[in-house]
């Protein structure tokens, strides 16, 4: 099953390497990973998407917890949460027909065209990973030139928090 | 330490390293100098509190520190230079990591501004050691040195212990740059706070389950030794009159001479220990981690058992075998709490069921009982260990290398006290035995320290015979010489139709002459009747290293041995007999 694990990490040199290394050493999967400092610059927040059976996920959270620099963590998928991912996608758009089609599609997915040239459109789309997958699928007819995705960021709904 | 009234001392980074170790109470530092740590060595030279032991290879320094930690419970400390000095220490760090041994390893590093430029003797020691340490850190500002050293000791020794590497770039130790020195008394980290006491509700549940058991067994591991809980474990076991089995790492946690001890379990465990485990209805696992050398096939492991698992590391619980009643905490307070509850409850175990259970166990004891063919003209390795155990009354510190001799030592030496059996259980490091014995002997000069080894393993760190001479380390080396890498040969006999691919040790040195060349005493034993007199003579040399080169039967195998892929109760009992 797919899990989204949120980690508060000491913002120290090498701490990210330790998290990534753990996944490599123990043969766990990383589907996506995002990391940036929080409002407190001494701490980073990391969102990690992984998959595995319950036993594997339990080991992943326990092993992450064992890392000295991990302050706190939470398996977001265990309760109500919001997840978002940002994608920038560059497509070929030369003919009028093609340009209209891409624009329509972007509108449907509430994407924004953030860069335009005579031959290309660059579109920004935000949503769940599924939505971004669907957008790529919808544009398959057009020539996709380049895709860049941020990886998932997530936060628990309501009162539940992951903070000091 | 400086009192608050006096002016803060100003020390160089190098002096701070040594001073912090002294303030931490470190007596010995094991190491080897080199370019990146010369400032530190110079600071070491200018004081007398912390004594340095110069090994002949950095691996030996780590094993010495590691063995000191295993015998004393306190972190051992290593100092090596950057590059090859640090990489030579890697095997020893991994050895300590696999067995959860507290150790602080100070590695030199090239100047900060050279890091990343492939400078002379530069390696990324933080990167190299990351998967084999509990934690590692690097010094970025000289004034942080006291804090970082305290932090290293705190992390190494608390929770589930382990090695910590502190990488020190040379420019952090400049002798002419001085900074205020104060050694922190305690340290608090927001991201690291290991649990100590177990959950009271879980402990209550465990005691209830234990008392209901009809076929109970206590399975105790290295956590009992490192957690200094042998006393509590023994008291609990005796109070309940339940059988006890120890893992390879747990030998000595419960006295081997006690009637309730059924021996070591696992791959080369006793028949009765493995049978007791397999048929148990309640298993109390204490500071043990259900490692693959214990469980054999996890799918067939102890089918009827309710498993209570006490461990300081939550990640060790339900990792390979699901625990029904997990208790996260230090084994000592958890066992104490269990004892207190037993006292309070005044409840008794089911004595009738227990009597039947003991009858069954005593029956299993007669099946194999550690018997080997002793009626031969060739010396049997098992007989050698039995003789050593007899002569030292089960009280010596016994270190070992890895292979058949290690299993024979585990099976036939009667360990009655904790912290006496010192071996590389998790990593299985050949070359561990001699430096380990040295580390123990240095710190316990009056104790008998025996290194049980083989002609393969001993040659992996044989150069340390020179260190032994320099520091007058009178360890007794029991070299079970059969001319083969015995365990490899055993597997080749059993699984490869005796095709001895590279397991024959050709061109062995004359170990007696070799020992003498290093300034020690060497004795060769080739016949059974020579054994006892030779051992008597060796142990009579109190302060001298004696190398006993004992020629033993090359055909001998270690039994029992679990059948690969089988349940814990499926064993080969001899070359011709299996369960």
Q: Measured between CA atoms, how close is A33 to chain B, in angstroms? A: 20
Is the Cβ pair B189, A68 closer than 8 Å?
A: yes
Helices (H), chain A: 15-25, 54-66, 96-108, 129-138
Helices (H), B330-402: 331-345, 351-365, 381-391
The phi and psi torsions of A161 (rounded to 5 degrees) equal -135, 160
- pLDDT digit string (tens) for B196-249? 899 999 999 999 999 999 999 999 999 999 999 999 999 999 999 999 999 999
Best residue of B156, B315, B326 to probe chain A, by most A CBs closer than 10 Å: B315
- pLDDT digit string (tens) for B291-315? 999 999 999 999 999 999 999 999 9
pTM of the model: 0.96
- Other CB atoms closer than 10 Å to residue B324's CB: what's the count? 15
Whether B170 sits among the annotated catalytic residues: the reply is: yes
Mean of the pLDDT values across residues B7-21? 95
Q: What pLDDT does B4 receive?
A: 53
Instruction: Point out the residue among B130, B135, B192 whose CB comes nearest to the CB of A21.
Output: B130
Distances (CA, A) of B467 to A152, B32, B64, B82, B442: 56, 12, 11, 22, 11
Give the burial string for A119-153 (b: 16+ CB within 10 Å, else e). ebbbbebebebebbeebeebbeebeeeeeebebbb
Q: Measured between CA atoms, how close is A79 to chain B, in angstroms? A: 22
Closest-CA residue in chain A for B193? A68
Q: What pLDDT does B5 receive?
A: 52
Q: What pLDDT does B552 receive?
A: 97
CB B450 within 8 A of CB B421: no
Mean of the pLDDT values across residues B257-274? 97
Q: What pLDDT does B1 receive?
A: 46
Contact status of A150 with chain B (Cβ, < 8 Å): no
CB B139 within 8 A of CB B148: yes
What is B82-117 written as a DSSP string? STHHHHHTHHHHHHHHHTT--EEEEEEE--GGGTTT
Give the burial string for B381-399 (b: 16+ CB within 10 Å, else e). bbbbbbbbbebbebebbbb
Residue of B24, B16, B336, B40 whose CA lies nearest to B150: B24
What is B134-157 written as a DSSP string? SEEEE-SSGGGHHHHHHHHHHHHH
Is the Cβ pair B131, A63 closer than 8 Å?
A: no
- Please list every residue in chain A whose beta carbon sits closer than 8 Å to the beta carbon of residue B126: 14
- pLDDT digit string (tens) for B432-478? 999 999 999 999 999 999 999 999 999 999 999 999 999 999 999 99
Closest-CA residue in chain A for B195? A66
Query: Is the pLDDT assigned to residue B73 strictly greater than 80?
Result: yes
Is the Cβ pair B318, A13 closer than 8 Å?
A: no
Q: Measured between CA atoms, how close is A148 to chain B, in angstroms? A: 29
Catalytic residue among B74, B134, B150, B170: B170
Is the Cβ pair A68, B130 closer than 8 Å?
A: no
Looking at chain A, the whole-number percentage of residues with pLDDT higher than 90 is 96
Residue of B136, B127, B74 whose CA lies nearest to B105: B136
B173/B149 Cα distance (integer angstroms): 14
Is A59 exposed, middle or buried, given 0-12, 13-18 or 19+ CB atoms closer than 10 A? middle
CB B320 within 8 A of CB B298: yes
Best residue of A7, A65, A66, A164 to probe chain B, by most B CBs closer than 10 Å: A66
B434/B428 Cα distance (integer angstroms): 14
What does the CA dihedral A25, B404, B446, B251 come to, rounded to 10 degrees? 60
Q: Looking at residue B464, what DSSP letter applies? A: G
CB B571 within 8 A of CB B271: yes
Contact status of A71 with chain B (Cβ, < 8 Å): yes
Is B178 exposed, middle or buried, given 0-12, 13-18 or 19+ CB atoms closer than 10 A? middle
- Please list every residue in chain A whose beta carbon sits closer than 8 Å to the beta carbon of residue B131: 21, 25
Beta strand pairing call for B163-169 and B103-109: parallel
Mean of the pLDDT values across residues A52-61? 95
Catalytic residue among B24, B58, B143, B556: B58
Please name the residues between 13 and 42 in chain A that touch chain B, using a CB distance below 8 Å: 13-14, 17-18, 21, 25
A71/A44 Cα distance (integer angstroms): 10
Instruction: Point out the residue among B140, B155, B191 whose CB comes nearest to the CB of A10.
Output: B191
**What is the pLDDT of chain B when averaged over all its residues?**
96
Q: Looking at residue A11, what DSSP letter applies? A: -
What does the CA dihedral B317, B319, B321, B326 come to, rounded to 10 degrees? 20
Mean of the pLDDT values across residues B378-391? 97
What does the CA dihedral B207, B211, B214, B216 come to, rounded to 10 degrees? 40
- pLDDT digit string (tens) for B28-52? 999 999 999 999 999 999 999 999 9
Is the Cβ pair B315, A63 closer than 8 Å?
A: yes
Q: What pLDDT does B373 receive?
A: 87
Contact status of A65 with chain B (Cβ, < 8 Å): yes
Vertex B203 angle, CA B201 and B205, to 5°: 70
Bridge partners for B400 per DSSP: B452
Residue of B283, B245, B48, B16 whose CA lies nearest to B144: B16
Please state the three-class secondary structure of B520-579 as a single string: CEEEEECCHHHHHHHHHHHHHCCCCCEEEEEECCCCCCCCCEECCCCCCCCEECCCCCEC
- Please list every residue in chain B whose beta carbon sits closer than 8 Å to the beta carbon of residue A13: 138, 140
Is the Cβ pair B135, A63 closer than 8 Å?
A: no
Tokens representing residue B226 in the block: 């490192």
Instruction: Point out the residue among A14, A25, A164 whose CB comes nearest to the CB of B131.
Output: A25
The phi and psi torsions of B463 (rounded to 5 degrees) equal -60, -20
Instruction: Point out the residue among A25, A62, A164 whose CB comes nearest to the CB of B315.
Output: A62
Q: Looking at residue B199, what DSSP letter applies? A: P
Contact status of A59 with chain B (Cβ, < 8 Å): yes
- pLDDT digit string (tens) for B525-561? 999 999 999 999 999 998 999 999 999 999 999 999 9
Residue of A96, A160, A159, A89 whose CA lies nearest to A131: A89
Whether B58 sits among the annotated catalytic residues: the reply is: yes
Its ipTM equals 0.93
CB A9 within 8 A of CB A70: yes
A127/A124 Cα distance (integer angstroms): 10
- Please list every residue in chain A whose beta carbon sits closer than 8 Å to the beta carbon of residue B127: 17
Q: What pLDDT does B195 receive?
A: 84
- Please list every residue in chain B whose beta carbon sits closer than 8 Å to the beta carbon of residue A17: 127, 130
- pLDDT digit string (tens) for B95-113? 999 999 999 999 999 999 9
Whether B393 sits among the annotated catalytic residues: the reply is: no
Please name the residues between 39 and 58 in chain A that touch chain B, using a CB distance below 8 Å: 55, 58
Query: How many residues does the structure list for chain B?
Result: 579
Beta strand pairing call for A112-116 and A43-51: unpaired
Q: Measured between CA atoms, how close is B432 to chain A, in angstroms? A: 25
Residue of B278, B223, B281, B280 whose CA lies nearest to B247: B223
Query: Is the pLDDT assigned to residue B2 strictly greater than 50?
Result: no
B171/B460 Cα distance (integer angstroms): 35
- Please list every residue in chain A whose beta carbon sits closer than 8 Å to the beta carbon of residue B314: 62, 65
């Amino acid at each position: 099953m797919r899990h989204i694990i949120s980690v508060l990490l000491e913002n120290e040199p090498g701490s990210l390497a330790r998290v990534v290394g753990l996944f490599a050493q123990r043969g766990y999967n990383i589907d996506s990973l995002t990391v940036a400092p929080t409002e407190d610059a001494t701490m980073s927040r990391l969102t990690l998407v992984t998959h595995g059976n319950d036993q594997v996920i339990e080991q992943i959270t326990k092993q992450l917890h064992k890392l000295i620099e991990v302050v706190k963590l939470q398996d977001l998928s265990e309760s109500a949460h919001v997840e978002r991912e940002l994608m920038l996608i560059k497509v070929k758009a030369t003919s009028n027909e093609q340009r209209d089609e891409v624009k329509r599609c972007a509108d449907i997915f509430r994407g924004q065209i953030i860069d335009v040239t005579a031959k290309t459109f660059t579109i920004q789309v935000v949503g769940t990973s599924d939505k971004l997958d669907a957008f790529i699928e919808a544009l398959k007819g057009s020539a996709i030139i380049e895709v860049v995705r941020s990886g998932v960021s997530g936060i628990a709904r309501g009162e539940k928090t992951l903070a000091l | 330490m400086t009192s608050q009234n006096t002016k803060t001392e100003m020390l160089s980074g190098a002096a701070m390293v040594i001073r912090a170790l002294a303030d931490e109470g470190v007596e010995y530092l094991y190491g080897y100098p080199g370019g990146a740590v010369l400032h530190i060595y110079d600071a070491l030279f200018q004081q007398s509190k912390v004594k340095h032991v110069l090994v002949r290879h950095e691996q030996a320094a780590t094993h010495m520190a590691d063995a000191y930690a295993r015998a004393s419970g306190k972190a051992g400390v290593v100092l090596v230079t950057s590059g090859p000095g640090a990489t030579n220490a890697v095997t020893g760090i991994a050895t300590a990591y696999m067995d959860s041994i507290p150790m602080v390893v100070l590695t030199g590093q090239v100047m900060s501004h050279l890091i990343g430029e492939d400078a002379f003797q530069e390696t990324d020691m933080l990167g190299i050691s990351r998967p084999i340490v509990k934690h590692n850190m690097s010094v970025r500002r000289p004034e942080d040195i006291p804090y970082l050293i305290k932090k290293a000791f705190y992390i190494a020794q608390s929770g589930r212990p382990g090695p910590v590497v502190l990488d020190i770039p040379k420019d952090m130790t400049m002798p002419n740059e001085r900074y205020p020195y104060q050694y922190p008394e305690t340290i608090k980290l927001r991201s690291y706070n290991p649990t100590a006491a177990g959950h009271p509700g879980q402990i209550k549940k465990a005691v209830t389950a234990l008392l209901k058991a009809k076929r109970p067994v206590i399975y105790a591991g290295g956590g009992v030794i490192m957690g200094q809980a042998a006393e509590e474990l023994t008291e609990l076991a005796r109070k309940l009159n339940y059988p006890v089995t120890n893992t390879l790492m747990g030998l000595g946690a419960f006295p081997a001479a006690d009637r309730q001890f059924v021996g070591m379990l696992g791959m080369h465990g006793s028949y009765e220990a493995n049978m007791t485990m397999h048929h148990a209805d309640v298993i109390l696992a204490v500071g043990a981690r259900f490692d693959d050398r214990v469980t054999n096939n996890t799918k067939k492991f102890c089918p009827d058992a309710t498993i209570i698992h006490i461990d300081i590391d939550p990640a060790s619980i339900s990792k390979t075998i699901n625990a029904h009643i997990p208790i996260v905490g230090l084994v000592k307070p958890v066992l104490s709490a269990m004892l207190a509850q037993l006292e309070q409850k005044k409840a008794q175990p089911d004595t009738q069921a227990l009597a039947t259970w003991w009858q069954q166990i005593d029956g299993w004891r007669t099946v194999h009982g550690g018997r080997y063919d002793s009626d031969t003209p060739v010396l049997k390795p098992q007989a050698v260990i039995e003789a050593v155990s007899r002569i030292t009354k089960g009280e010596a510190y016994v270190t070992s290398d890895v292979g058949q001799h290690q299993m024979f030592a585990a099976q036939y030496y009667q360990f009655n006290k904790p912290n006496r059996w010192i071996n590389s259980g998790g990593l299985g490091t050949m070359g561990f035995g001699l430096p380990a014995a040295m580390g123990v002997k240095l710190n316990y000069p009056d104790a008998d320290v025996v290194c049980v080894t083989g002609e393969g393993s001993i040659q992996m760190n044989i150069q340390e015979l020179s260190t032994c001479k320099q520091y007058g380390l009178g360890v007794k080396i029991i070299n079970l010489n059969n001319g083969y890498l015995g365990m490899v040969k055993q597997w080749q006999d059993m699984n490869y139709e005796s095709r001895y691919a590279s397991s024959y040790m050709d061109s062995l040195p004359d170990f007696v002459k070799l020992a003498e060349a290093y300034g020690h005493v060497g004795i060769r034993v080739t016949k059974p009747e020579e054994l006892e007199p030779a051992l008597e003579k060796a142990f009579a040399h109190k302060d001298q290293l004696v190398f006993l080169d004992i020629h033993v039967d090359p055909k001998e195998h270690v039994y029992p041995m679990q059948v690969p892929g089988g349940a814990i109760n499926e064993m080969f009992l001899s070359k011709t007999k299996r369960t």
